Chain A
């Protein structure tokens, strides 16, 4: 059965491209672009895996991730964190906030696919 991914990212063209690639690979893709309402969207959609951008409008991806980890319902949900800054500081922030995996832009389509497969055992 096809697995569901929630892509939380505010760059429209990245959403389109990644959304296209994931759909072609058999994923059911939902997207969301706002940090403040991201946690509620995760709970509503209950995806198998989340792709979360670090820099979102209204609430940072790191904060969203901390909220998800603090909630028992989403504490174990696989989350792939995306960031446009590969600095050690960000990597460390993501690790401490509880990211399952961390990827720096610009990544390739295949990297994202491989990573999601690994995270969900699909």
Chain B
């Protein structure tokens, strides 16, 4: 995404109109020095002042404010939140990402790497402490070693041991040494698996998301009339090495294929566009459930120059289980999302679809038409706890006509949310004092 800078744009537009800083500054009621700071991207600008300047320069606010890489800025805020002891100029993250895009990418990438590594360490530590297979193997090794040690020192240290006992301990040592060899081997193969997983620090979910992102979430092989088998697809998916990553990808591909068979392209694309992505109408036409329509809409290839369609799913605990990111609607990489998302409203009332016009907090809120629904996950049955899966589709302004609805403000996650008063806030924001 290009990173234009609001200040630079103001300056370029002002000079194109042959206006001086002094003139423009006095028209909007600020000092020329302050305007100069703004134009050099040393001061944040937004809200009313940006609106006033845009009006005086005869351009829409959007043309001045657009172009800030909100994903990058969100990552920078997360990075700041991860090191609360360092007094970072958090309110100048946008300026930083604009002035030093390369450095900003580096900070964001390092933050992601640190996060990945921390999670990996945690999961390895968890595994060493709680893995039942490992515990059994270690127990076996120590038990056989104990028996061998004890028997061997009897043979060496006991004078005048009866033949019967000597033979028995020889036999025991022989048996136990075989068991020890086997237990040792199983330990080694266990550690081999850990080693393989260690090489790629991404979680299985991230592996899959990365793989899908490289294909714009459109899996061509599964769109064919006689689709590629899931196994064949996995075979040509070298990015997904870990066992759990492949299992996750397998489930995703199965579902994708079943969606694709029921809603084939280009039929689905044509109907979706002529029905303005109305999921209820589409579900009726194709005879499928709402969540399937939402997933299918997110699998549409992004047209040249068009905005991407985003999708997230979550389980009953609200944990995000799948993310297809969309520009202007940053998704938290780990941890919980904004409770105001329609996704969670849908989770609170299963089967009942939710439609909302969401404005993501920011200097110039970016709006999305959002559909969400929660449906049962797994088998429905008596006596079993029924869990639900929430699915939420985010449609950007250029892909759909926005209905006349009040805008629902929402954010990414509390730690980097600028909202000053929010009943849903669960932790302080690094962007709001005393937030």
Contact partner of A16 among B148, B149, B157, B172, CB < 8 A?
A: B172
Contact partner of A106 among B145, B154, B168, B172, CB < 8 A?
A: B145
In angstroms, Cα B151 to Cα A108, docked, is: 10
Q: Are A106 and B139 in contact (CB under 8 A)?
A: no
Q: Are B138 and A85 in contact (CB under 8 A)?
A: yes
B175 within 8 A of A: yes
A44 within 8 A of B: no
Q: Are A106 and B146 in contact (CB under 8 A)?
A: yes
A109 within 8 A of B: yes
Q: Which chain B residues lie closer than 8 Å to A106 at the CB level?
A: 142, 145-146, 148-150
User: Which residues of chain A have a CB within 8 Å of any CB of chain B?
Assistant: 11, 13-14, 16-18, 20-21, 24, 55, 84-85, 104-109
Q: Which chain A residues lie closer than 8 Å to B169 at the CB level?
A: 16-17, 20
Q: Which chain B residues lie closer than 8 Å to A21 at the CB level?
A: 150, 154
| B138, B148, B149, most chain A CB atoms within 10 A | B149
| A11, A13, A16, A21, most chain B CB atoms within 10 A | A13
Chain B's interface size range is 20 to 34
Residue of A nearest to B172 (CB): A13
Q: Are A13 and B153 in contact (CB under 8 A)?
A: no
| B142, B144, B150, most chain A CB atoms within 10 A | B150
Q: Are B151 and A17 in contact (CB under 8 A)?
A: yes
Q: Are A17 and B138 in contact (CB under 8 A)?
A: no
Q: Which chain A residues lie closer than 8 Å to B154 at the CB level?
A: 17, 20-21, 109
B158 within 8 A of A: yes
Q: Are A55 and B172 in contact (CB under 8 A)?
A: no
Report the minimum CB–CB distance from A68 to chain B (whole Å): 23
In angstroms, Cα B150 to Cα A21, docked, is: 9
Report the minimum CB–CB distance from B128 to chain A (whole Å): 10
B216 within 8 A of A: no
Q: Which chain A residues lie closer than 8 Å to B148 at the CB level?
A: 106
Q: Are A17 and B150 in contact (CB under 8 A)?
A: yes
CB within 8 Å for A105 and B168 given contacts A13-B151, A55-B139: no
| B143, B145, B148, most chain A CB atoms within 10 A | B143
